[in-house]
Each structure stands twice: as C-alpha cells, then as structure tokens.
Amino acid sequence: MTFQLTDPITKEKISYAIDKKMISLLDSVKNYISKRDKDYVMLMDGYEGSGKTTFAIQCGKYVDPTLNLDRVCMTPDEFKSAIRNAKKGQCVIYDEAVTGLTAGASITRVGRILKSMMMQMRQKNLFVIVILPVVFEFNKYAVLSRARFFFHIYESKGRMGFYVGFNKKYTRMTYLQGKKTHSYKIRSRFNGRFYGKFALGDSQESIYRKKKEDALDAIGDEEEESTVLKRTRNEMYFAIKWINELGQSYSAIQKKAKEEGLHFSNGRLSQIIGKNT
C-alpha cells in the first residue's frame, strides 16, 4: 500500500510504498514506545548500495513523522547529541554504512553509546535505528541485549530493495551462529521488498546527499591524518632503535633505513637525536 503524510516541518506532501508486513511491525513499534514506555532499537545491515538508508528512513518516518536530517546521524558525536536532544517518541538514525568501510572503529563507540545512554533512550521512548555494513562486527551487547529487530538488506538479480527481518530471538541466533563466518544461517519468513523513495521528501534529498559527501570527506581527512601519524611514529621507532644500536652515525642509520624502505634526511635525524638525547 501507499503511505502518505504531510511533513510537519517542511509541509511537503510525501508518499511511498510500504508492504503490509512492515506496516504491522512498525505499528507494533509505535505501540511499544508509546504504551509500554520503553525504547526500541532496530539494526540494519547489507552491502553498499543495497538501499539500507532508504529503508531505514522510510521506517523512521512512518513511526515518527517529525524525523528530519538533524536526526539522521553519520558520526558517533552526532548520534550522541541527537539522542540527548530528541523529544519523547522520536526516531534517531545512525548511518554507519555511509562511512563504515573506512571508519569501522566507530562501530565500537556506537555500541558503547547505546549502552551508556540506555536510560535517556528509555525515558524518552526513542525509536533508534542503527545501520551497519555488517552486523557481525557490531558490539555483542548492542546486538544481544539492545536490538529488538534486525534487518538484512540485499540485492536480487541486480535490483536493490529486498529485506529479510529477524525478531529478537532470531537476531540473537543469527549473530551467535554466523559471527565466525559472517554468514546469515538463520532462515526467516519475514521478507519483502521496498522501493527507493526518499522518505524525507524530494526537497531534502539533495541536502542529505551533501551531508553524506561532507561526512565521507571528513572521514577521508581523518584517515589521511591517521596514516601520516602512523608513518611518523614508525619512522621515529626505527630511528631511535638504530641510534641506540649504531650511535649517531648518519651513514649507518641511512643504510639501515634503506633496507626497511625508509629514508631520513640528515636534518630529520638531527631532529630525532635532539629529542631523544
């Protein structure tokens, strides 16, 4: 069927297809956070380009019509801030999949955020969706203790937009049985299709894409800085080691450096010696 709403912020009319299984599930999510006074954590994973973010935003917008780009987060700091600032019953999405291929270390931090901010999430009855490249790389506590539903998003015959869903019990079984080999061994009948409609509205799609580009650029800069730092530390380690072994013989140190694929100018060696003598 087609779900239709008018965005309460942009006033844009939004509509997108959603199947009956998903309507039933998301209605139960709304009921859970509104009547049982709890939060609801949903996980999604899948290959790049399979449509995870599209699907997550469609789910979030159905449960929380006020969902906007401020609560579609691409860094752990954004995610933490969004949880703190969210109002009761709202949806917050963390899209690790945007930067996950290059920023895998942040997955651990997001798991810690889910644990450390558990009380705030429950008091506010938040609907939190975490999008991951691979669920098996996520924090064990977050998967086994916090996730109430998990979706694996995939392509079929070159077409994006397919999902298979697992309840809390089957999420646990999938994680424990598949972690070693990263295989989805557990079968589920909760499956279906979704379509690539950007559920925050056409006016927001280009803004989202710019936000995504900026996030990727920032991760690239961090990686470059990290690589330079690692190389500098590596050079320092070998230089100090050879200084201790060979004394301050620049030619002997340069010979050793060449064997390791490194190169130090005499000025650089003087700088290192000066700091470590």
**Tens-digit pLDDT profile for residues 136-172:** 888 888 899 999 999 999 988 888 899 999 999 999 9
Q: What integer pLDDT is reported at residue 97 of this predicted model?
A: 59
> DSSP 3-state assignment of 89?
coil
Length of the chain: 277
Evaluate whether 199 touches 22 at the Cβ level (below 8 Å): no
Pick 252 or 100 by higher pLDDT: 252
Label residue 182 by pLDDT band (50, 70, 90).
Answer: confident
Residue 17, pLDDT above cutoff 70:
yes
- pLDDT value at position 233? 53
Least confident of 77-81, 178-182, 214-218: 214-218
- Residue 219 confidence (pLDDT): 57
| Section 74-78 average pLDDT | 86
Least confident of 31-45, 105-119, 197-211, 215-229: 215-229
**Sequence spans of domains, the chain:** 2-200, 221-275
Which pair of structure tokens corresponds to residue 235? 């050079």
Q: How far apart are the first and last CA of the chain?
A: 74
* Whether the predicted pLDDT of 257 surpasses 80: no
Confidence category of residue 98, pLDDT binned at 50, 70, 90: low
Tokens of 103: 């920023």
Write the DSSP string, 163-196.
EEEEEHHHHHHHHHHHTTTT---S--S-EEE---
CATH number of 2-200, picked from 3.10.20.310, 3.40.640.10, 3.40.50.300, 1.10.510.10: 3.40.50.300
- Per the prediction, the chain carries an average pLDDT of 84
Q: Is the pLDDT of residue 231 over 60?
A: no
Contact 40, 148 (CB under 8 A): yes
**8 Å CB contact between 172 and 135:** no
How confident is residue 102, by pLDDT bands cut at 50, 70 and 90?
very low
pLDDT at 224 over 70: no
Flag whether pLDDT at 273 surpasses 80: no
Nearest to 99, CA basis, from 136, 50, 70, 132: 132
* pLDDT attached to residue 267: 66
In percent, how much of the chain has pLDDT > 70?
77
Angstrom distance (rounded) from CA 84 to CA 66: 16
Q: What would the mean pLDDT of 72-79 be, rounded to a whole number?
A: 89
Rounded Cα distance, 251 and 28, in Å: 73
Answer positive or negative: Cα dihedral of 198, 199, 202, 203. Answer: negative
Of the listed ranges 67-71, 94-98, 128-132, 199-203, the one predicted with least confidence: 94-98
Contacts of 187 (CB under 8 A, 6+ apart): none
Residue type at 216?
A: L
Residue with tokens 């931090």: 109
